[in-house]
Structure 1
């Protein structure tokens, strides 16, 4: 038996915009709006209006999560739901009531609620009016929203995270065109990365100013860490990997844990004339407001090689002038999703955090595999036999266990996701959950992986 630490978090993660549906929301977030104007951008034209109906069925859904053995669940409070007047940061009473009921229901079922404040749900009005995360004013509005959430729910929620995968906002909205507004603007991307880091630090400052950390509360951040593996030992490939690591991982890791940006990255951005704008007080804000814990989302490794064109080529600035993606021959794949399967990476992440990031307490906040047409795997009883998901989780847990044995300060593992949820433009094409969801009937059924996970949580380990 491979045992995990006492009080290990066995859980799963979802988000408000991907599970609740748009019911009773006053404001549209970025994806709500994108679906309004371009529904054909979403798989089968399925948008976020209903999602998994969590707004209406949260009690039954949480009961199913308990049956799967989850002792912790991460979700998010939607800025676009909680706040009534976005400038004055007044709250919507119906939203307060909803989130109070959800939090209480989790606790009544013995499930620890972990709450994220920003999971890709910026109110679209703030983008159209101010440029969203391009604006320091929006940073301050976010801190006002965070303060409302802390005051309303901080008596029961003891674990908060500021952002989920802020790097995806940078990549999706400003570089690679997979999130609205689908821009390609390297200079704006750099500023947005800075402002997202600043928003996190300022929200942490507000949390501590309210004294919530003195009552057992903690606040962290969830980052999608993709370890960088060079295509070869050549100097050119190694240099490409060094910059990719700076851009993809260290740009958020270093401020969150060390309280400053990597000097090497700032040097490159300054030399390329795309460095972010700052204010005099920012350095002290970053220095004083580092995270209490780290959530790590991991799905696939990041393999790179030297770029085919010279980094000093003439043209718009993009980080990819310093590296190209590398497709390793013979790699093992989740072909449905198009992602490489490489479980050892969670061990590499754990050791990197142990050795280079103060061995800060942390957990795997998302890990999982999306598979399409899971009805292919229904048995006679109507249960999905997702042995591939069981194997995937087992392998990642084995490498995570090895990292813990070698001193990594890891306290949990969360699958993405408890119940099949809506997944941005991908909608419901790929399914990730322990629990299946028929989106036409909203009937939810525990998969084989959910039954298996209950055994793992009961014995706190792997056979």
Structure 2
């Protein structure tokens, strides 16, 4: 029997199954795909995937440094010792971002580079100077910074010393770090994102660390990790509100990885399954951050699985009265989502085929009646962005940042990346149609990624996302604009999203249109 509260919550998501993009009413064609005033367009990178210089002067070894160095590990094909050498080539890279007509740039600050010991009383002068110059150059180029505080690269000694995010001790360290960043850079940074993809990190990274012999808290689970990240988010938000907001007038957001889950049919069971998927994947973090506690759906699912395991205590921690008071009213000014693809979601009964990607990690066991069909990456039909925005806005009604949206070239196209232009054309046009039709507030859209980067298990060559090619093959690391750069330049010059028509990218989702490279070199059609 399906609990009533789960059915009611699921019904709230039903708009997704009915409100498909084909139902859009036409708007005046001149402004349907025009970039609204104030919408930031840019591309992103992270410190650990781009900078290199892993032990330059007093920089500490980060968690990602340690994992790629771990003797005998087979998970990562390369190290990040040099990466794209962004630490030394950053000025060239930012000038190229300006050439692409981007108005914003998302990047992360390396905790290990600015606070090698984790102690704000003992910062690295060189590390702080690096980001000082970096931010100043962005502002000189009239590019708005969007700064992520933590993108998988906390100092390794701090990780082991505090037992990481499975233990509450790291919260105070992260809050000290955030306070330090606000004090040093907050007068020039208006948009802050605390932790990149906490749901991805807590689902996936502890498993990888355990495989590499990095100690994990006994009896720990994904929900303890997320719980501590939620409390860190809350404390950082409150510090900014109470100490910096009046003078700096910036915003502090919260980030999740989101695969929109669309009910396979309008049957209530499939609608419920889609809601369960959303709530466990993204809502476990977002619901407390926006509404002050875990959703009834999350509590029901985790507790049901806890009972099956015969455990006396729920795996989902409870917030204390003081913590609920801190969370009251919400602790995020905007929600940032990293979105690449989507799933069709079906309800399956006991013993049915409830297939799910391994990337979902431990939460997959807590949604046993959910089956997913789709690709982890590279869905480029218009429904992707539409479905992501509709669910997020209807559920949380907070301003949205598309912090990552990108096409990973697994076809070996290299510089001739017509499919990337098609992917972003479809997603950005859908973004504008959806936000205009439903009056959804979107602050920014960031391409992932500015450069070809280290992509974890895919290394440097298997799935490059960059708009700018980096020559890893020959080791020169020279930068070259890819063909898709013409799309972004046209977008910046016309302030409208170009249509990339025709069909030469079957590896993308249905409905993607692309024609030959010669067309890309010509003037884009705005329709």
**Is TM-score (shorter-chain normalized) higher than 0.5?**
yes
- Does 2:480 align with 1:448? no
Q: Distance in 1 between matches of 2:411 and 2:251?
A: 39
- Does 2:183 align with 1:148? no
Match of 1:34 among 67, 71, 84: 67
Q: Distance in 2 between matches of 1:191 and 1:236?
A: 29
Query: Cα distance, 1:61 vs. partner?
Result: 1.0
For the aligned residue pairs, the C-alpha RMSD in angstroms reads 2.8
Contact 2:344 2:372 in 1 (8 A): yes
Q: Distance in 1 between matches of 2:380 and 2:91?
A: 34
Per the alignment, residue 247 of structure 1 pairs with 280
Per the alignment, residue 346 of structure 2 pairs with 305
Q: Distance in 2 between matches of 1:348 and 1:185?
A: 38
Contact 1:175 1:189 in 2 (8 A): no
Query: Cα distance, 1:126 vs. partner?
Result: 2.7
Per the alignment, residue 163 of structure 1 pairs with 195
Query: Cα distance, 1:69 vs. partner?
Result: 1.0
Q: Distance in 2 between matches of 1:320 and 1:425?
A: 23
Q: Distance in 2 between matches of 1:268 and 1:427?
A: 35
- Does 2:401 align with 1:398? no
Contact 1:362 1:412 in 2 (8 A): yes
1:123-162 alpha-carbon deviations (Å, 9 max, x no partner): 2223322320011110110000011111000111111111
Higher relative contact order (CA 8 A, sep 6+): 1
Per the alignment, residue 19 of structure 2 pairs with none
Structure ID, larger Rg: 2
Q: Distance in 2 between matches of 1:294 and 1:67?
A: 28
- CA pair 342-282 structure 1, distance change in 2 beyond 3 A: farther
Per the alignment, residue 467 of structure 2 pairs with 434
Q: Distance in 1 between matches of 2:137 and 2:72?
A: 34
Partner of 2:335, secondary structure, is strand
Query: Cα distance, 1:175 vs. partner?
Result: 5.7
Per the alignment, residue 349 of structure 1 pairs with 388
1:63-110 alpha-carbon deviations (Å, 9 max, x no partner): 111111111001011111111332565311110111101111111111
Query: Cα distance, 1:397 vs. partner?
Result: 1.1
- CA pair 317-460 structure 1, distance change in 2 beyond 3 A: closer
Per the alignment, residue 262 of structure 1 pairs with 295
1:35-71 alpha-carbon deviations (Å, 9 max, x no partner): 111465255x321111111111111111111111111
Higher mean displacement: 219-228 or 112-121: 219-228
Q: Distance in 2 between matches of 1:32 and 1:178?
A: 16
Q: TM-score, normalised by structure 2?
A: 0.78
Q: Which has the higher strand share?
A: 1
Per the alignment, residue 322 of structure 1 pairs with 367
Per the alignment, residue 50 of structure 2 pairs with 19
Per the alignment, residue 455 of structure 2 pairs with 423
Query: Cα distance, 1:219 vs. partner?
Result: 1.0
Uncovered stretches (5+) of structure 2, i.e. residues with no partner: 1-29, 307-313, 353-360, 498-525
Contact 1:187 1:317 in 2 (8 A): no
Uncovered stretches (5+) of structure 1, i.e. residues with no partner: 378-383
- CA pair 174-308 structure 1, distance change in 2 beyond 3 A: farther
Contact 2:451 2:467 in 1 (8 A): yes
Partner of 2:148, secondary structure, is strand
Query: Cα distance, 1:176 vs. partner?
Result: 8.0
Written as runs of structure 1 = structure 2, the 5 A alignment for 1:33-432 is 33-38=66-71, 40-42=73-75, 45-87=77-119, 90-174=122-206, 187-233=220-266, 236-271=269-304, 272=306, 273-276=314-317, 278-306=319-347, 309=350, 319-323=364-368, 326=371, 328=373, 340-358=379-397, 360-372=398-410, 374=412, 376-377=413-414, 384-406=415-437, 407-428=439-460, 429-432=462-465
- CA pair 100-3 structure 1, distance change in 2 beyond 3 A: same
Contact 2:67 2:209 in 1 (8 A): no
Per the alignment, residue 381 of structure 1 pairs with none
Contact 1:176 1:182 in 2 (8 A): no
Aligned length: 444
